[in-house]
Amino acid sequence: MKISTSALLKKLGLKAVNEGVFDGKWSGSGPVVPSISPIDGKVIASVRTATAADYEHAVTKAQHAFQLWQTIPAPKRGELIRQFGNALRETKVELGALVSLEAGKIIAEGQGEVQEMIDICDFAVGLSRQLYGLTIASERYQHRMMEQWHPLGVVGIISAFNFPVAVWAWNSALAAVCGDSTIWKPSGQTTLCAIATIKIAERVCRANDVDPAIFSLTVGDRVAVGEPMANDKRIPLISATGSCAMGKSIALNVQKRFGKVLLELGGNNAIIVAPSADLDLATRGILFGAVGTAGQRCTTTRRIIVHESIEKELTKRLVAAYKQVPIGNPLEAGTLMGPLINLPTVDAMQKAIAELKAEGGQVLYGGEKLTGKKYPGGRYVTPCIAKAKAHYKIVHEETFAPILYVITYKNLDDAIAWQNAVPQGLSSAIFTNELRESEKFLSAIGSDCGIANVNIGTSGAEIGGAFGGEKETGGGRESGSDCWKTYMRRQTVTINYSASLPLAQGIKFG
């Protein structure tokens, strides 16, 4: 894909230096920080970040915007999101290209991420007419009991580099139709994507005479923005995507003030490959899951637990497939794996491989740094396949890079136990053509993950289902199903239309 960076920035309303704070107006009085493309290590543009004072002003504005926005009928709020989805359709190519440029994703994944934003907008539009409560049978004569839902307030969104725009959309589209305003702290690695997204949202708000501060933005570091946001009683919900360590810190701070958290943290996802599996299907599913986004998805396939009878055949197929993966500039057609996000991630991958070897593991393919003119910036590697055992310490850790551990099993109970033995619990899968195996995997004694798939891989979740996981993944759920309830406050209502005052449980008083 031939692309002029300057033309792309201009199309998206970006400049050489951009204000990183939006609270109805664009500003920023903190340090100017460059955005560096992992493709070549060069500066794309720069962003003037937020100070603590900028953050304070943005929260105040988001609060003010919420006060009016919550009074707008939900279907009217949905109409705004419908228009936002259409605006994303019009800029899908450009915004997707910026995702590739700033996050290092291949073209298909950059475009696909914007499509996720469009899809969740469509979902939210329908949801805006379905914010249902319940009517509950009362035990008291001539009483009606019901449940209703009200807007929650300002929602804080903290997102990671690997999905620089979709995660914000998952949260903000639902929050908006639920009547909330949002304030966004994006990853410092992908600040331009955030600014471009908010500029699109701003245009839609202004066209509808809506205060655009319902979609506020504060680009800043942990001290100026992250910690104040976690500790801010004016923000009843913090939705945070990132590492387990980051999530633990945020959860402690938010819960100390009795706030709510929605955490989407680490994943150490496994695929069980049974003797009856379709190996062609399994190989394709594993390849995308392990190599997609250069192994930098929370749903990346990191462990293969394969039956000993087919281990050699599956390994041979995987190595052959890995050797054919085109690695290089993600903006070029045909590339299937781009760079890692930064140099520390490359170092972390090399360290993990060294630890694997020290524990007795064996690299079957890949894991090398790539150099030369085709691989500028020092962020390119070959995806790695390694033979390991389920108890290795490194196997229980999430290395955010393309390392795939192959582990053999003899019986399905062991395979499920090994899959569940890691601290994380996001996504899981089994490839099998045996009904009993698939049903056991999906049963209460099967996978302990928030996502469990049969004959598809661990990556590629649709927006219609609740997305999230258990254990150190954080327990949060975003996107579809009834996740909208997270962004609202529940209220139980009892109406007495009798002339007496009976008490519940048959209590007599007085």
334 — pLDDT class (breaks 50, 70, 90): very high
72-81: pLDDT as tens digits = 999 999 999 9
H-helix or E-strand containing 322?
helix 311-323
Asked whether the beta carbons of 463 and 480 are under 8 A apart, the reply is yes
Residue 410 vs residues 115, 404, 428, 438, 509: alpha-carbon distances, Å: 41, 20, 19, 16, 66
* pLDDT of 1 over the 90 cut: no
90-100: pLDDT as tens digits = 999 999 999 99
281-295: pLDDT as tens digits = 999 999 999 999 999
* pLDDT of 70 over the 90 cut: yes
**Considering only CA atoms, which of 468, 479, 83, 73 is closest in space to residue 263?**
468
Tell me which amino acid residue 53 is: A
pLDDT at 2: 66
296-328: pLDDT as tens digits = 999 999 999 999 999 999 999 999 999 999 999
* pLDDT of 261 over the 70 cut: yes
pLDDT at 304: 98
Backbone angles phi, psi at 146, to 5 degrees: -150, 165
16 — pLDDT class (breaks 50, 70, 90): very high
pLDDT at 168: 98
Would you give the distance in Å from CA 54 to the centre of its chain?
26
Please compute the mean of the pLDDT values over residues 126-143 and round it to a whole number.
96
Residues in Cβ contact with 433 at an 8 Å cutoff, skipping those fewer than 6 apart: 274, 276, 277, 278
| Whole-number Å distance between alpha carbons of 411 and 318 | 22
Active site residue 264: yes
Give the SS3 label for residue 369: strand
* pLDDT of 204 over the 60 cut: yes
Give the SS3 label for residue 390: coil
Give the SS3 label for residue 508: coil
Compute the mean pLDDT over every residue in the chain, rounded to the nearest whole number.
97
Please compute the mean of the pLDDT values over residues 224-245 and round it to a whole number.
97
Asked whether the beta carbons of 478 and 467 are under 8 A apart, the reply is yes
Tell me which amino acid residue 112 is: G
Tell me which amino acid residue 321 is: A
510 — pLDDT class (breaks 50, 70, 90): confident
Would you give the distance in Å from CA 479 to the centre of its chain?
10
8-state DSSP, 502: P
Query: In a 10 Å sphere around its CB, with 0-12 CB exposed, 13-18 middle and 19+ buried, how is residue 111 labelled?
Result: middle
Instruction: Given the residues 121, 205, 244, 298, select the one marked as catalytic.
Output: 298
22-34: pLDDT as tens digits = 999 999 999 999 9
Active site residue 56: no
**Number of neighbours of residue 16 by Cβ within 10 angstroms:** 10
Beta bridge partners of 33: 47
Please compute the mean of the pLDDT values over residues 378-394 and round it to a whole number.
98
Asked whether the beta carbons of 388 and 405 are under 8 A apart, the reply is yes
430-484: pLDDT as tens digits = 999 999 999 999 999 999 999 999 999 999 889 999 999 999 999 999 999 999 9
**Considering only CA atoms, which of 31, 13, 412, 36 is closest in space to residue 191?**
36
Query: In a 10 Å sphere around its CB, with 0-12 CB exposed, 13-18 middle and 19+ buried, how is residue 44 labelled?
Result: buried
pLDDT at 339: 98
Backbone angles phi, psi at 429, to 5 degrees: -155, 160
Give me the sheet containing 143-151, strands edge to edge.
134-136, 143-151, 488-496
pLDDT at 509: 87
pLDDT at 308: 98
pLDDT at 461: 84
| Whole-number Å distance between alpha carbons of 82 and 122 | 7
b/e per residue 61-90 (b: at least 16 CB within 10 A): bbbbbbeebbebebeebbbbbbbbbebbee
**Considering only CA atoms, which of 47, 344, 42 is closest in space to residue 190?**
47
Instruction: Given the residues 264, 398, 437, 472, select the one marked as catalytic.
Output: 264
